[in-house]
Amino acid sequence: MVENSLDRLLESEQITGDLDQFLDEVMDLMEAVVIHLEKGEQVSPVAGRAFRNHRRVLDNEHAAGRAVDGNSGAVDQAILSKLRESFNYHNSRRGILKGLLQSDAEELEKAGLVGADLELKTAGWRRAARWFLNDGTRKSLASVWRWANLLLGSASAAFPAFEAVKELKDVFHNLYKDVTA
């Protein structure tokens, strides 16, 4: 298996990260969710373990009757296909988005994406991502999505092109909540 940003995040002692690193991590997490929903083999060993744990937690909740009945836990294949297509499109634009992050320090500052503001946001993101990667619980994944939303919201305030990635993250979050309910 090839190591990706999620593997590096879990192995790193680094508390905060930069925006390029965050973008890699959130895109790699979204891809791991697609692979999980497709029931495919994870590229990242860390993501593979997290999603195995996640599936175990969900199975235990279903068995204990804590999950909402009537949901098969499966994603409609047409929706999954569109999700993969949309993810692939936005992932192909990752370099363009990273270029924007390097282009205008003033806009980054206005959006709270420099200095202590950025460090606080990326520390929260990395803490939540590590939590999910270590235990795979539904609560930890919800935390990851909330922190991703915060950073993507700030990035989209500085550069509107990030709004599409933020909305894709929202689709992931909503679809995943529907599937795991």
Residues 89-98: tens digit of each pLDDT: 999 999 999 9
**So what's the pLDDT on residue 116?**
95
Residue 26 lies in a domain: yes
Eight-class DSSP state of 178: H
Domain count for the chain, please give it: 1
Report the pLDDT averaged over residues 56-84: 68
Residue 42 lies in a domain: yes
> Residues 175, 79: contact at Cβ < 8 Å?
yes
What share of the chain in percent tops pLDDT 90?
A: 53
**So what's the pLDDT on residue 100?**
94
- For residue 19, give the nearest of 112, 110, 92, 145 by alpha carbon: 112
Residue 106 lies in a domain: yes
**So what's the pLDDT on residue 46?**
84
Amino acid of residue 96: I
**So what's the pLDDT on residue 74?**
62
**Vertex 173 angle, CA 167 and 178, to 5°:** 125
- Calpha distance 178→107 (Å, rounded): 36
Range of the domain at 149: 18-180
pLDDT band for 115, please (50, 70, 90 cuts). Answer: very high
SS3 155: helix
Most confident listed range (9-13, 30-34, 43-47): 30-34
| pLDDT exceeds cutoff 60 at 117 | yes
Residue 6 lies in a domain: no
Q: What is the CA radius of gyration of the chain?
A: 16
Residue 144 lies in a domain: yes
Report the pLDDT averaged over residues 84-108: 94
- For residue 53, give the nearest of 32, 84, 25 by alpha carbon: 32
**So what's the pLDDT on residue 73?**
55
Residue 66 lies in a domain: yes
> Residues 181, 62: contact at Cβ < 8 Å?
no
- 3-state secondary structure string across 73-136: CCCCHHHHHHHHHHHHHHHHCHHHHHHHHCCCHHHHHHCCCCHHHHHHHHHHHHHHHHHHHHHC
180 Cβ partners below 8 Å, 6+ apart? 58, 67, 73, 138
| pLDDT exceeds cutoff 60 at 127 | yes
Residue 47 lies in a domain: yes
Residue 7 lies in a domain: no
- Calpha distance 62→66 (Å, rounded): 6
